[in-house]
Chain A
Amino acid sequence: MPDRSDREQMVRAALRPVGRGGWRYWSIVVALAALVAWGLYAYSYQLRHGLGVTGLNQKVSWGFYILNCVFFIGISYGGAMTSAILRLTHARWRAPITRLAEATAVAALLVGAAYPLIDLGRPDRMLNLLLHPHAGSPVLWDLVAVGTYLVASLVFLYLPLVPDLALMRDRLGAGTRGLVGRLYRVGSLGWTGSDHQRQALALGVGIMAVLIIPLAVSVHSVLAWLFAVTVRGGWHSTIFAPYFVLGAMLSGVGAVILVIAAFSRGYGLGDYVGPKQYRYLGYLLLALALAYTYFMISEYLTDGYVADQSSGPLIAALFTGSYAPLFWAFTIGGLIVPILLVAAPGRYVEGRAVLAALLVVAGMWLKRFLIVVPGMAEPLMPWDWGVYHPSWVEISITIGTAAAIPLMLMLFFHFVPVMSVHEMEEVESESSREPGAAVLPRRQPAG
């Protein structure tokens, strides 16, 4: 076990934000809540007037909503994958960031899963999906895959939370009265940290960490098949499922870097989240960005070389046509520049990683736009291109849902520790058997 003062420092750092918040915290919460409320208003406007208030039309009948669905579920994916992979590979530097990654996964998934419903022309008939399911439809595959993945993500978030809920139950003393206190008491399941309990928890978390990876892969594959099972140029592609999985991981790792940077700064975790995390996450980002570039080359080379009637005009539009500015903005700004940023040696590791992550996340949103909209606008019949200009409703809902993710995270971490105290202790006790691998900073006792 780490010595008491270090542990105490860590516990304090983890618990500091719980149940409190200064004016900065609340002003950010209020600002985010205002954006979410505006998005909700936009959605209620759409509910009243129908999808006619969007920029969608007969030719481009999928737009912002579908691409946002892919984007946000992709973000979620990165959170779950980072956490699960790092757990399974016993990467010690993961300990301070798994909680943030898992919570990001759930928050982004809730937002992403809402989008297919926002996109429905008749949301009032949503239940038909359960009453009259047609198993051959990719939409139904999505429902099953996303539903399963959501439940698994919640379990994967909850299980490692149990010891920390116990900590809250024990530490907050007088604060544990009322509903929140009862939640802590019931949620912590009488955790005492006995060996038996640790074994049970380790097994459950281990199973979920193994399970969450194929589930996440299945979710994004199914999302890709939503497009790939059509005959449209640029969509009907065998590479699409792994391509989407990779894109999701790329944007997800980017989002995790952003969330970690924001929360470690805002919540004073600088002692625990440092250059090591940014460097390793940066390497992960680098590997994924390179792999994504490789997939892109493979896609556009094979399609562009043949340039048949369905994919030829699409690639021309992307490379040199009306979508070229967006396409090259993504390729250069969202892939090449971030690769250079995280690959370069030298100082400012954190700054470079955060900038690269920002570019990657924005770039991947753009890439989803470039997958969905030109694929829809491309002519099927001789030979009319569609046009799509998102309306204020779509833009408002997009911004509102994007704001909902940090809002949900901030509210969530108002009640639970932002770092997994239990996990950091576990990693620490592991590493105490392997000298020189400590996670917790060794400090001189305050003198």
Chain B
Amino acid sequence: MADPAASATAPAQPQRQWTFVIDLRRCDGCGKCTLACQQEHHLPKSFEWIKVFRLQDETGRESYMPRPCMQCENAPCLRVCPVGATFKEPDGVILVDQGRCIGCRMCMAACPYGARYFNYDDPPAYNNPFGKATPEFPVPQQKGTVGKCMFCVHRTESGNPRLPACVEACTMGALYVGDLDQDIAVNGPGETVRLMPFVRENDGFRYKEELGTSPRVYYIAGHGQDLEY
């Protein structure tokens, strides 16, 4: 019996439709995702492209909610950009062309999730290994322009795909990166699930669904409880 894993048979380099699943039952608010993102993109501390919000219920129990960019399918930020500096890739990820952005910050006003960050000051100096900053890997950030999470497409879409920095850093396995077409998602520890069945069976939801933005991030409700799998 040959090990089937050795001959994986999904089509080579398919067009992905990137998505995130965030299992709040597992998030303990450690903030490693934020830190990994900032290291990956050489961002200052105030730039929390994936930000962990701390919530507290009436009993004082804390829970946590990481918020990356939602990569909305019906993205408000995309609509309001006056120069088309914000655009959507075929893989569903919303990118910012920082070479075109004029810094009007209309997108920040429009984003219902507060996911966009403006470079008020000079970003830390950094030598981009790819030569120059691209929308896929806008590092170093350009002063006077807007930046945000782009699901680490420089990792996921490379010839040798790697997990997004935050997913890789999440030792709790709360962050899954998925592909809507192949209906698959995987987290940092390597647990692989069928995307939509996983979301459905666990009563997943999308944040602020009522706004009609159709975010590409699914949450599974919870508050850091112990889970048995």
Contact = CB atoms under 8 A, between A and B. Distances in A.
A and B touch in the complex (CB under 8 A): yes
A381 B67 contact: yes
Interface stretch (A128-136, A161-169, A241-249): A128-136
Nearest to B119: A121
Contacts of A59: 114
Interface residues of A, number: 41
B83 A61 contact: no
Contact of A120 (B104, B108, B120): B104
B126 interface: no
Contact of B145 (A58, A122, A229): A122
Interface in B93-126: 100-106, 108-114, 117-122
B144 A137 contact: no
A210 interface: no
A325 B28 CA distance: 40
Nearest to A53: B120
Contact of A132 (B76, B84, B114): B84
A119 B79 CA distance: 20
Contacts of A126: 102
B101 A122 contact: yes
B113 A132 contact: no
Contact of B211 (A51, A119, A136, A231): A231
Contact of A121 (B82, B83, B144, B211): B144
A384 to B, nearest CB: 8
Contacts of B53: 381-382, 384
A137 B120 CA distance: 23
Given A136-B80, A231-B211, A129 B46 contact: no
A322 interface: no
- Classify the interface of chain A: helix, strand, loop or mixed: loop
A211 interface: no
A56 interface: yes
A121 B110 contact: no
Given A230-B109, A381-B114, A132 B103 contact: no
Nearest to A142: B82
A62 interface: yes
Nearest to A131: B83
A155 to B, nearest CB: 26
A122 B113 contact: no
A357 interface: no
A140 interface: yes
Contacts of A380: 111-114
A116 B144 contact: no
A231 B118 contact: no
Contacts of B65: 382
Interface in A376-416: 376, 380-382, 384
A231 B76 contact: yes
A119 B109 CA distance: 14
B interface, size bucket:
35 or more
Nearest to A51: B120
Contacts of A87: none
Contacts of A230: 76, 80, 109-110
Interface string B53-82: 101000000000101000000001001111
Given A51-B118, A51-B144, A119 B104 contact: yes
A128 B110 contact: no
A134 B84 contact: yes
B143 interface: yes
B102 A128 contact: yes
A137 B80 contact: yes
A232 B65 CA distance: 21
Contacts of A121: 101-105, 118-119, 143-146
A187 B214 CA distance: 58
B103 A120 contact: yes
B80 to A, nearest CB: 5
Interface string A130-151: 0111101111100100000000
B117 A58 contact: yes
B121 A52 contact: yes
Contacts of A56: 118, 120
With a 10 A CB-CB cut-off, give which of A52, A57, A226, A231 has the most chain B CB atoms: A231
Nearest to B48: A58
Given A58-B117, A381-B67, A134 B108 contact: no
Nearest to A49: B121
Given A133-B83, A139-B82, A382-B53, A116 B121 contact: no
Interface string B15-59: 000000000000000000000000000000010000101010000
With a 10 A CB-CB cut-off, give which of B65, B102, B106, B117 has the most chain A CB atoms: B102
Contacts of A138: 80, 106
Interface in A174-231: 226-227, 229-231
Nearest to A310: B112
Contacts of B121: 50, 52
A122 B118 contact: no
A66 to B, nearest CB: 9
Given A232-B109, A382-B53, A122 B80 contact: no
A50 B53 CA distance: 29
B100 A52 contact: no
A344 to B, nearest CB: 41
27 contacts: A50-B122, A52-B121, A58-B108, A58-B114, A61-B108, A120-B103, A120-B104, A120-B144, A121-B104, A121-B143, A121-B145, A122-B101, A122-B103, A123-B102, A128-B83, A132-B84, A132-B85, A137-B106, A138-B80, A140-B82, A230-B76, A230-B110, A231-B76, A231-B112, A381-B53, A381-B113, A382-B65
Interface of A: 50-52, 54, 56-59, 61-62, 116, 119-123, 125-126, 128-129, 131-134, 136-140, 143, 226-227, 229-232, 376, 380-382, 384
Given A120-B102, A137-B79, A138-B80, 16 more contacts: A58-B117, A121-B104, A132-B85, A136-B80, A137-B80, A226-B109, A227-B109, A230-B76, A230-B109, A231-B76, A231-B112, A231-B211, A232-B112, A380-B114, A382-B53, A382-B55
Q: Closest 3 CB pairs between A and B?
A: A121-B103, A121-B144, A139-B82
